[in-house]
Each structure stands twice: as structure tokens, then as C-alpha cells.
Structure 1
Amino acid sequence: MRVFKAVLAIAAALCLAGVAGWHYATDWRPSTGEYPIQGIDVSEETGPVDWLTARARGVDFAYARAIRAGTRRDRLFQSNWAALGEAGIRRGVIHQFSLCRSAEAQADAFITFVPRFLDALPAVVELDFDEGCARRPERAELLGSIQAFLKVVEHHTGSPMLLKISEPFEKQYQVSGAVARPLWATQDFFEPLYLARPWRMWQASTIRRIDGVDRPVHWNVVAP
């Protein structure tokens, strides 16, 4: 009986430690002293956001995904964009690049669905592998497609785009050293080191929970 009670006590302690650790992880963000400008990026996967509450929780800026899988408009883009403006939060647009769509088709989709916003932060092209696209072009072809896309879209927006590059994508294609644009790195909790040049933005958590959003958010910081 004593052994059984001891086992239960240990199990309970481990459970409590796990709950405390998970709470810490979902509440964590980089120090505002080191990174004073912090914000989130959202998509239809995030669900509805109470932007006034999010701003009160330390959201200085937000990026809303506009295009999914290269050519499809994100279902919540328009509502997110309008609500961000009403909340007075600096806002920008993300285009999810697809290896299964041509650069021309993707640029056309961006121009069709994303008007030129004079108050917008620099737009972002997100480079990552998509489960819905198995195609893996050669590096030279991919870099040419990215450059062709940037040429058209940057003419539309009037400013250089940021490249948000995942670590697996960078390892395969080494984009950061070949395309001269500001970089956005992604790695939970630990400062990323996989890019060829210093990053301008860092997605530091994909599991942070904040008031005003029912689901976890992607939490980002700007390099000081």
C-alpha cells in the first residue's frame, strides 16, 4: 500500500510539473527589453481574433495571410484586415508561395486579391513545404520563380517583400543567400541560426496563447 501511494504521489507530481511546463511554454515570449516590437501572424487556421484585446496583450503589429497555396484567398483575410485597421494595429500581408503553381499565376492572384495599401507593412512571401504539393523543382528553377514573382508583386506594392523561410525549405534550396531581401526566420523558443544572413524578423512561438484568440497564435519579434 505504501508503495502504491508513493507511485501515485510521484505520478501526481509529474503531472503537475507537466501542466506547469505547458502553461509556461504557451505563455512564453521573448523579452520585450531585448525585442521591444512584437506581434503575431494569423490565417483562417487561427480563427477569429478580438484585435482590441490582442493589442492590449502586447500585439504591436500583425500579419494576415492573404493567399494560401499560391492562388487561393484566405477565408478570413478581408475581415482580419478591416479589423486590424479599426483596432489601430500596424498590418501586413502574407502570400503562401506554392511549388505547384507558376510564378505568373501566383502574382496574378496576389494582385487580384490584395489591393495596394498605403499604410501596410512590407508584404511577405512565405516559403515552406506544403503537404498538398509534392512537387520539388530544381533550385535554379525555384529561384527563378521567386524572382519573377517578386518583380511583379513588388511593382504592385511599391516596396521590397520579406522572405519568411522555414528551416527545411532553406536547407533544401538555400534561398536566403541567393535572394537579397529581408529575412523572417522561424524556430520555437530558440533564436534561429539557419539562414545565410541575419534575420529581420523571428517567429519565436507557434503555440502562444493570448486573450482574444481561442487558438494558439504565431508570435513574432523584430530584430532590434
Structure 2
Amino acid sequence: MHIPRILGRFAVAVTASVLAAVGLAAPAGAAVQTPGIDVSHYQGTINWTSVRNAGIQFAYIKATEGIGYKDTKFNTYYPAAYHAGVIRGAYHFALPDRSTGAAQADFLVDNGGAWSRDNLTLPAALDIEYNPYGATCYGKSASAMVAWINDFLARYQARTGRWAVLYSTTNWWQTCTGNYSGFANRSPLWLARYASAPGTLPAGWPVYTIWQYSSTGSVAGIAGNVDRNNFNGDRGRLLALANNT
């Protein structure tokens, strides 16, 4: 049974050119933030035109979990967001104790989480965080967790040509990966921290690409609370991440 995501969510030097190529670098000045949301079936009926008219420019939409669950609203939300002009991406809730990372990446891609250069599709995100069903680190050592994440990322990249975005919290990342820094030169960071500032980032990432700063936001077109996010840059940078340019 699926339950809501729980609270929480990422330095080795990396060259600016590599960071820009994978959408990690903030633009000069780094002051512009582009508003977005992330949703699952818990949001119920969504009027995506109202969402876009309210200024929301991107949305991550839950697609899959483990290798056996597809969100019941994904097939409704994903095309509706696109047609409303919201830049959208799919996300996968990781269950590393259930199967290999590669198997879960395949399940995501096979159930709508692939990528295309259509000006409105972001690379999918791997949501890896506190285990809502058991042990915080899913019974894995830090090295085993790093290997699992690498397995997922490598398969997603082989299937789509893109590196998935990584969603986590600094605390979980430190606890369950040993604060591993080796993914920062390829996967953009989507940091979850419900506070007035992003705080310390996981090792390796000099900046966040997306910051989920609230789980109790409100947006026209959605009844009830919704997760609010900021993209670290303007719409042009967001489109560069979407189109891999």
C-alpha cells in the first residue's frame, strides 16, 4: 500500500562547465528562483490551467514506487500538465530493499518516466529518502546503498540518455550513503528541507538545482496542501535542464 512521502531530503570540487552541462549550476547572480510543485494522487483533481496561471512553471509528478506500484493519477496528471504548458517530470519512489536499482529504473521508464526533448519534459527524479515501511536505510550499508543508487542511475541513463535528478535530504544522505559525493557531477540535486533556507547540502553538490521548501503550500487549481519547490534559476535554465542543452 502506498503512503505519503515523509519529511526530509543533498564538497568535492566540480568544474563549472560540467555543472552547467547537467543543469547543476545556478546562473550568474543566482537570485532568480522559478516556482514549482510536486504531486501524487493525494492531490486529487487538479486544474492544471489554473496551476499554470498561478505562476507555477514546473511539476514533478509521482509515476512509480518499487517495481509494483504506478500512481493512479499519473496518466491523468502527466499529459494534462503538458497541455497546460507546465514543464513536467516523473519521479520514482525508491525501495532499495525490494529489487535492484536497474529493475526499478526499468519499471519507471516502462511506466511513463522516460524522457524526450519536447521543451516540456524534465529528466525523471529518483526520490530516495526515509523508509516509510521499515529501517531508515532499507537494511543496506552505506556502500551498498551507493551501489544501488548507481545501478538505478546507470540504467536510467542507458535507457533515456539522461541522468536522473536525485531527491533526498542532507540528513538521510549523510546517514545512509556516508555522505557520498560521487554523483554530484552528473545528477542534479533536488533537496528537501522545510525551512527558510536550504542549509548544508550533501557532499559534492556546490548548489541545489531544486529546493523543496514546504509540504503545506497552496496553489490555485489544487484543493488542500501541496509540496512547493523552487528551481535555482530562471525559466531559461529550467528549459536547458529539460532539453539537455
TM-score range, shorter chain: 0.7 to 0.9
**C-alpha separation in 1, matches of 2:166 and 2:83:** 27
TM-score of the superposition, structure 1-length normalised? 0.79
Candidates 138, 142, 147, aligned match of 2:145:
142
Q: CA deviation at 1:220?
A: 0.8
Aligned pairs for 1:146-165 (under 5 A) are 146-165=149-168
**C-alpha separation in 2, matches of 1:220 and 1:187:** 10
- 8 Å CA contact 1:71–1:105 kept in 2: the answer is no
**C-alpha separation in 1, matches of 2:113 and 2:223:** 29
Structure 1 residues 70 and 200, CA gap change in structure 2 (3 angstroms): farther
Q: CA deviation at 1:129?
A: 1.3
Candidates 213, 218, 221, aligned match of 2:227:
218
Match of 1:14 in 2: none
Q: Aligned-residue CA RMSD in angstroms?
A: 1.9
**C-alpha separation in 2, matches of 1:133 and 1:70:** 17
Segment drifting more, 210-219 vs 166-175 = 166-175
Candidates 167, 171, 181, aligned match of 1:177:
181
Aligned pair count? Answer: 192
Q: Which has the higher contact order (CA 8 A, sep 6+)?
A: 2
1:17-67 deviation per Cα after TM superposition (whole angstroms, max 9, x unaligned): xxxxxxxxxxxxxxxx94341111111122221110111111011110111
Candidates 112, 116, 139, aligned match of 2:110:
112
What amino acid does structure 1 have at the position aligned with 2:51?
A: A
- 8 Å CA contact 2:217–2:227 kept in 1: the answer is yes
**C-alpha separation in 2, matches of 1:209 and 1:220:** 12
Q: CA deviation at 1:149?
A: 0.9
Match of 2:71 in 1: 74
Per the alignment, in what secondary structure is the counterpart of residue 106 of structure 1?
A: helix
What amino acid does structure 2 have at the position aligned with 1:207?
A: T
Long gaps (5+) in structure 1: 1-32
Structure 1 residues 70 and 205, CA gap change in structure 2 (3 angstroms): farther
- 8 Å CA contact 2:38–2:60 kept in 1: the answer is yes
- 8 Å CA contact 1:176–1:183 kept in 2: the answer is no
Per the alignment, in what secondary structure is the counterpart of residue 42 of structure 2?
A: coil
- 8 Å CA contact 2:174–2:180 kept in 1: the answer is no
- 8 Å CA contact 1:143–1:175 kept in 2: the answer is no
Aligned pairs for 1:9-158 (under 5 A) are 34-69=31-66, 71-102=68-99, 103-114=101-112, 116-118=114-116, 119=118, 120-134=121-135, 135-158=138-161
Match of 1:207 in 2: 216
Long gaps (5+) in structure 2: 1-29, 234-245
**C-alpha separation in 1, matches of 2:232 and 2:110:** 32
Per the alignment, in what secondary structure is the counterpart of residue 114 of structure 1?
A: helix
Per the alignment, in what secondary structure is the counterpart of residue 206 of structure 1?
A: strand
**Bigger radius of gyration among the two:** 1
1:152-185 deviation per Cα after TM superposition (whole angstroms, max 9, x unaligned): 1112222111111123311302455232321111
Q: CA deviation at 1:186?
A: 1.0
Name the % identity.
27
Q: CA deviation at 1:212?
A: 0.9
Whichever structure has more helix as a proportion of its residues is 1
- 8 Å CA contact 2:115–2:162 kept in 1: the answer is no
**C-alpha separation in 2, matches of 1:34 and 1:70:** 39
Which structure 1 residue ranges, 4+ long, deviate > 6 Å from structure 2? none
